[in-house]
Amino acid sequence: MFEIGASKCPPTAKKLRGGYYTPQPLADYLCNWAIRRPDDLVLEPSCGDGSFIRAAAPRLSTSGSITAIELVADEIAKAQRSLADIDPSIEWKCGSFFDFAPQHLPSPSFDVIVGNPPFIRFTPNDLANYRKAHPSKLISLSGVNRPDFPQSLERYIQSGEANGVHRGYKCRVRNRWFDVPSVYAPDAFMYRQIHHAPLLIANHTGATSTDTVHRVRLLPTRNIEVEKLCGSLVNSVSFASSEVLGRSYGGGVLELEPREAEKLPIPFSEDYGVDVDYLDKKLRAGDLEAALDHGDDVLLREGCGLSKTDIDRARSAWRRLRDRRHSRKHGQRS
């Protein structure tokens, strides 16, 4: 008996690694546009069968050069054989571009980067494995004297100085440009730039962040459940107030600066029966209106004693202000 899907061939190794090579006419067109001088230094970070190298070579003199990187040994060998008679200097690198880059970029610099990077689908397991193999670290050097730094750390800092990182405003105003201030794990986060409405997120992981999001700390004198505080922000009065307090920028984005976020009214009481799990489920599913229905009913009607008319007015005000802000994204006027 015929089985649905039985005729589908299993994916090849080439497909699994995203090896979709560029037709030569397209590679010729792109290199003709990108390479402007015969002495350009060209980088191809995933050269595959060499179509971009084949297109780049005729546009370069002996003063130009090509650096070709390819992960798969068989593929780079094929490219080398097919391009053995190319005049410009070609430096072949078999391995991952991401292993090459930290050691060789940005020095020497390249004038042109051409290529067609692999297109592959990553699964959650892929991401988890990558994080395990390449963990990210936040280095806090407060109280550590520079002469005591290990050589690897000193080289890392010097590479930043070579790239001018220390001359950026936030770095140059510090006593030591590489000391990151205010490294702490907050109780919660609040989005700084907002599309639909402001949200508070409880920090269960002990994470920290830059100032791209607001870090929220609870007063030690108040015994507050951070999850309930986060849930208490989901109501029409708080949402409408955010549109009044915040600033609207191009693209329809609402931004709340720290002082504006501090003024945001939140109807909070430990006695209010807000269902945090329900709100979390609805917000993750993208059902903001259902989450608002629950928050308005529990926080505004039962908790604060607002009438249905007042709640409906607050919801309507939020929608109108939000929609007016969103309309600016497309240059419309309300």
pLDDT tens string 130-173: 888 888 777 788 889 999 999 999 999 999 999 899 999 889 99
For 195-240, where are the E strands, in sequence order? 200-202, 213-216
Question: From CA 249, how far away is CA 198, in angstroms rounded?
Answer: 15
Answer for the pair 276, 233: CB distance below 8 angstroms, yes or no: no
Q: Which of 108-117, 244-253, 275-284 has the highest mean pLDDT?
A: 275-284
pLDDT exceeds 70 at position 183: yes
- CB atoms inside a 10 Å sphere around CB 137: 5
Query: What percent of the chain is modeled with pLDDT above 70?
Result: 88
User: What values do phi and psi take at 194, rounded to 5?
Assistant: -125, 140
The Cα 261–Cα 192 span in angstroms is 9
Per-residue pLDDT tens for 22-46?
Answer: 889 999 999 999 999 999 999 999 8
| Average pLDDT for 264-280 | 91
Q: For residue 59, what pLDDT is reported?
A: 92
Distance separating alpha carbons of residues 157 and 144, to the nearest angstrom: 14
Residue 299 has pLDDT above 90, yes or no: yes
β-partners of residue 70 are 94
Mean predicted confidence (pLDDT) in 68-92: 85
pLDDT at 264: 92
- At residue 121, the pLDDT reads 65
Question: Domains plus CATH for the chain?
Answer: 14-113 (3.40.50.150), 188-330 (no CATH)
Check pLDDT > 50 for residue 206.
Answer: yes
